[in-house]
Amino acid sequence: NAGVTQTPKFQVLKTGQSMTLQCAQDMNHEYMSWYRQDPGMGLRLIHYSVGAGITDQGEVPNGYNVSRSTTEDFPLRLLSAAPSQTSVYFCASSYSYYPEGSYNSPLHFGNGTRLTVT
């Protein structure tokens, strides 16, 4: 099993350019999510998905789009990159997603994509 695979590992963009960060998992996990991590900060949730065709916003969704057409893939799109989006992006997945009062299975993280916007 490869686990959670993120591509590319590094990317440099100019302001206004668009790009897609790829995330794929081979564990048949229902739940997938995207986080960003800025220097000296914890991780902040951008978007998440509880299954194919279902997505929702996290803490910091502005400037990012997501879609989930398959169980395996959860790409993150930057439509018009800004310097404030310079960050390390992590994709995570878990077996399933339970509502309040239940325990969700542990999150498995990829190794991140380091994005610089100039």
Partner 1 sequence: DAKTTQPNSMESNEEEPVHLPCNHSTISGTDYIHWYRQLPSQGPEYVIHGLTSNVNNRMASLAIAEDRKSSTLILHRATLRDAAVYYCILPRGGSQGNLIFGKGTKLSVKP
The residue from 58, 66, 74, 81 that contacts partner 1 (CB under 8 A) is: 58
Using the minimum distance from each CB to partner 1, give the nearer residue, 57 or 80: 57
Residue 43 sits in the site that holds partner 1 (CB under 8 A): yes
The residue from 14, 39, 42, 62 that contacts partner 1 (CB under 8 A) is: 42
Using the minimum distance from each CB to partner 1, give the nearer residue, 31 or 74: 31
Residue 26 sits in the site that holds partner 1 (CB under 8 A): no
Residue 39 sits in the site that holds partner 1 (CB under 8 A): no
* Max CA distance (Å), the chain: 44
> Looking at beta carbons, which pairs linking 12-17 to residues 24 or more positions away fall under 8 Å?
12/115, 12/116, 12/117, 12/118, 13/78, 13/81, 13/115, 13/116, 13/117, 13/118, 14/81, 14/117, 14/118, 15/81, 15/82, 15/83, 15/117, 15/118, 16/80, 16/81, 17/80, 17/81
Among the residue ranges 16-24, 36-44, 63-71, 72-80, the one whose residues contact partner 1 (CB under 8 A): 36-44
Write out the residues near partner 1 by the rule CB under 8 A: 4, 31, 33, 35, 40-45, 48, 50, 58-59, 90, 92, 94, 97-104, 106-112
